[in-house]
Amino acid sequence: MAIEINLDVMMAKRKMRLKTLAQMVGITEQNLSILKNGKAKAVRFSTLDKICEALDCQPGDILAYDVEPED
C-alpha cells in the first residue's frame, strides 16, 4: 500500500513508549503495534485524534503517501 505509517518515528522523537501511548490513546498495545507495523487496514478518526493529541503532532506526521514507482 502507498500509505506509510511513521508512528515509530514520531514516538522516537517524543520519546514515547508503546505502552504509554496505548494507555493515553485508550487502545491495546497489540492494536497500537498493528498500527505501528503498518498491518492496520483502517484508522478511526477518533484514534488518530488521540494519537495526535498524545504526540503533539499533525496527522501528516504519522501518515504519509508514498508514490509507488511504476513498473
Residue numbers at the binding site for other proteins (CB under 8 A): 27, 31-32, 34-35, 39-44, 47
Least distance (Å) between residue 71 CB and other proteins: 27
First to last CA, the chain: 15
Q: Is the dihedral of CA 58, 44, 34, 70 positive or negative?
A: negative
Would you say 19 or 71 has its CB closer to other proteins? 19
Q: Is 40 exposed, middle or buried (0-12, 13-18, 19+ CB in 10 A)?
A: middle
Least distance (Å) between residue 44 CB and other proteins: 6
Least distance (Å) between residue 3 CB and other proteins: 13
